Amino acid sequence: MQLYNKMSAKERAQLIDEAGKDRLTISFYKYHNILNPKLFRDNLFIHWDNLDVLGRTYIANEGINAQISVPADNFQDFKAHLDEISFLNGVRLNIAIEHANKSFLKLKVKVRHKIVADGLDDDTFDVTDKGIHLKASEFNKMIDDEKTVLVDMRNHYESEIGHFKNAITPNVDTFRESLDIIEEDLKNHKEDKNLVMYCTGGIRCEKASAYFKHKGFKNVFQLEGGIINYTRDVKAEGLENKFMGKNFVFDHRKSERISEDVIANCHQCGIPCDTHIDCKNEACHLLFIQCPECKKKMNGCCSDPCKEIAGLPIEQQRALRKGKPKRQRKFTKGRSSVLKYKK
């Protein structure tokens, strides 16, 4: 019985092209006590593989976090399968704003210690004692209140290309870093301010809201379904869109445009731009913002040395990488000193 992906991304992309059918990019999460994550993971993989589901899913004792792609024709069967699982019955599915058949090219279902790497000791607080969820209309009204502090719970490279008006956007590389910064900055307003948080789909805010309640904040709220769900609701209900720019997403698309505002700049020349790419040099893979002109000039690379390496034959590139530790520059997310106009 197949319990792991055995097909390459290239092979899968070809099959998607040959099928000629639309796919839906979906994300969802649920905090729940899963007693046997490994058994749950294997059952999930078998069902999803049969439905041609692709994407990345994490299973842990604390719940599930999924970013996946489902054939539109199989969506109802996929939803029916989720509804058969007691704690996932009726779970909110955040369907992507922008269509992309190749947002994911492999099915990966992994057992992890946590569904989000938050660096927290969950034994010190009740993760289910979460803040109040706000629908889009409620969120718009509350963030206009002078007693509200709006905080972006995402990392710097995410908020750089898009965020809500007047939001605090911590200049951090990890979710854990932002928690201490926010607590320190708002330590004198734990009772007289509304702490309203948002993230991509809601999962980080859910944990953060429980954490801040544990830390003594009295009025804690989060945007229900995150930016993805908010965008759908403001369109459906004719509400004012208070989000500026793009929403960073963790698949091959890298972002979805929410408004026409371009609030970031090319990291190489400084002109307005909000398109993330990975450096074409496989030994680098730095994530950064690059405009079309710089992409053409630099061949999709972050620096001249990387451009030189990426221009070599593939076998020669592999020979240069052989025996060397992988450089995790992808996770510096735009912090590299080679980028002249990084924030």
Using alpha carbons, list the distances in angstroms from residue 30 to 63, 103, 209, 261, 325.
6, 22, 15, 32, 36
3-class DSSP state for residue 179?
helix
* Cα 334 from Cα 337, distance rounded (Å): 9
Radius of gyration of the chain (CA): 21
Instruction: Please answer whether residues 129 and 213 qualify as being in contact, where contact means their C-beta atoms are separated by less than 8 angstroms.
Output: yes
Choose the catalytic residue: 199, 205, 284, 302.
199
Backbone angles phi and psi of 272, in degrees to 5: -55, 125
Catalytic residue status for 199: yes
Instruction: Please answer whether residues 32 and 64 qualify as being in contact, where contact means their C-beta atoms are separated by less than 8 angstroms.
Output: yes
Backbone angles phi and psi of 61, in degrees to 5: -55, -25
Give the strand pairing for 194-198 and 148-152: parallel
User: Strand ranges (DSSP E) for 177-286?
Assistant: 194-198, 220-223, 243-248, 255-257, 276-278
Which positions are catalytic? 199
